[in-house]
Amino acid sequence: MTEQTPLLLLIEDDPPFRSLLATTLEGQGYRVLATDTGREGLLAVRNRSPALLLLDLGLPDMDGQDVICRLRKSSELPVIVLSARHQESDVTQALDNGADDYLTKPFSNAELMARINALLRRVAKLPGGVQEVFQVGGLKVELTKRRVFTDGCEVHLTPLEFSLLSVLVRHAGFVVTHRHLLEKVWGASYIEHSHYLRIYMGQLRHKLEADPARPRYLLTEAGIGYRLFTDDAP
């Protein structure tokens, strides 16, 4: 391995699981830095500049949710939560706090590697992780020019519809929570107005989907939010 090999930071307090996971990741060609506390992990973020963080929520010194909140005050480091907590509220809270993805234990090595690879690809596409042109199937979105096409035909979107779609494009392949979408598109004072999302997502589906009742691109994650489908989604 070289210094160009992505360094993954693993914060996990279960020694056998931490060791097994580190060995698995190294076997896939990654460098791994493992720690068992949130404070040590946050220090490693500052000192070692990892490419991605794998985070357990049940840590001995602080809750993993607090680690995400502290991290997001100064860093956009990609975060995948690995947790035995499977309640919808735990998943939603982690994503709202700034996690990029969430895997519930137990999970397969193949699933984990797919999530890691997809997230690293997304971040690496352009500086800041933003694609100026997004395309999947017959859907094409030009962020800078604010133009949208389906099967080669331009589709007119209202400013709010385009803003909603652009947030999903910037997180393509990953779940975006209701709260995050409402805050980014309408503002912090609208985070409880989930009916706005239902209305505008319905409008987008009618404009972009061949069958709005069975969407191919704009997918619902029940109780959590929405996800824009990609060919290389995890």
The confidence score (pLDDT) of residue 28 equals 93
The 8-class DSSP code of residue 232 comes to T
E-strand ranges in 79-206 read 79-83, 101-104, 133-136, 139-142, 147-150, 153-155, 176-177
E strand intervals along the chain: 7-11, 31-35, 52-55, 79-83, 101-104, 133-136, 139-142, 147-150, 153-155, 176-177, 218-221, 225-228
Note the Cα 41 to chain centre separation in Å: 20
pLDDT beyond 70 at 130? no
In this prediction, residue 1 has a pLDDT band, given cuts at 50, 70 and 90, of: low
Which pLDDT value is given to residue 2? 55
How far, CA to CA in Å, does 196 sit from each of 107, 162, 181, 191, 201?
34, 14, 10, 10, 8
Sign of CA dihedral 4, 110, 16, 53: positive
Least confident of 147-151, 169-173, 213-217: 169-173
Is residue 4 scored above 80 in pLDDT?
Answer: no
Is the pLDDT at 128 greater than 50? The verdict is no
pLDDT, average across residues 133-137: 89
pLDDT in tens, 87-100: 888 999 999 898 98
pLDDT value for 122: 75
Hey, what are 167's tokens?
A: 């947030």
For residue range 175-213, what is the model confidence (pLDDT) as tens digits?
A: 999 999 998 888 888 888 888 899 999 999 999 999 999
The number of C-alpha atoms within 13 Å of 101 and in the hemisphere containing its C-beta is 25
In 84-188, where do the E strands start and end?
Answer: 101-104, 133-136, 139-142, 147-150, 153-155, 176-177
Order across the sheet with 218-221: list the strands.
176-177, 225-228, 218-221
C-alpha to C-alpha distances, 87 to 93, 94, 214, 222, nearest whole angstrom: 10, 11, 26, 13
Distance separating alpha carbons of residues 47 and 192, to the nearest angstrom: 38
Mean pLDDT of 20-24: 95
Retrieve residue 74's tokens: 């100064």
Q: Determine the residue type at 131.
A: Q
Q: What domains appear along the chain, each with residue ranges and CATH number?
A: 7-125 (3.40.50.2300), 133-228 (1.10.10.10)
CA distance 199 to 178: 13
Q: Is the pLDDT of residue 159 over 50?
A: yes
